[in-house]
Structure 1
Amino acid sequence: MTPTHSPGRLAIPSLPTVLDAFNSAPADEARPLLLECLRSLRWAERVVAHRPYPTVDALLAAADEAAYDLTVSDLSEALAAETLPALPEGVYSAAHMAMDAAHAAYESRFGHAFVICLDGLPPNEALDHVLAGIRSRLTNDPEEERVVAAEELRRLARGRLVASLKGTGATGRHGA
């Protein structure tokens, strides 16, 4: 592609982006990045297979679509790799006990870790949000909870993918 320029101005070619690197990486290199976002091999394979993506929004839309198509088995695979979100520093031990007890009840009822996306939530509200979420979702029937958990996984994957593209890695305060 030849850069266009006005007479008298220096033409500057565009620099490669993180998206360009993702699009051009061999599948064996792109797949692990995606698996850090959502531990579903089918999801990662599908996102890798549809490269190149013209924009980050197109990549995120494809990732969302692949997440919406997770089977029960795919969802179980992804949920098995999740853990509870880390509590903010300075949270007292009673909060840890409350979180552990709520999570144990949830895991006993549904057979997998509780997942919730905390994107955009102030750190000082994370504990209350997680505990309220667990308590509320414990009233769901298993099929209803599978749908909610799948949506939370999709949101987590999206946030982790955006963080990876920004170069901040797949970890961060997205939830679990």
Structure 2
Amino acid sequence: DITDYSEQQYNHYVRPYMSMVFQQGALWDSMTVGENIDLALKIQKHLTPEERRKRIRESLKMVGLPPIENEYPEELSGGMIKRVAIARAIATHPRYLLYDEPTTGLDPVLTTMIDELILKLNRELGTTSLVISHDISSVEKISNRVAMLHRGKIILECPVEEMWHQQNKIFNQFIHGEVIDS
């Protein structure tokens, strides 16, 4: 349980091993793509500037982007912004990746592309991903296990293939688009 960690404990025991992909990308408009990715890398004090530049190029390549480190976020499409955010997260070589609604606001083609990218990165990098999503279709494609939270508590946890067989009123209301009872 890390909720009681001090900032110093968090920075020592958690931050070096975990990265996050924010829902809207969270890129700084005033910075280039490379500078945005480098923000995450500067925390890793042991990396030289050349090592950081190499990781920037490698992470962009891994997410299927050309060398766009000198471009600004306003010059990119929504799908490219999402991939830059993922590139920033993987550049630190984390053990764990937390994705906050990775497909929100994307069309079906881009949603499929991001789902496939998450699976590819898990395979190739050996990371463990925690994906927060309301998109049940994506959850089915990319997950091994699923957990549903309601009012801050886990109300359902099972292998994804067993998800549809659960006798959970709140889960069933969510799946069928009904108003969830308290």
**Category of TM-score, reference length = shorter chain:** under 0.3
- Comparing both chains, which one has the higher relative contact order based on Cα–Cα distances under 8 Å and sequence gaps of 6 or more? 1
* TM score, norm. by length of structure 1: 0.25
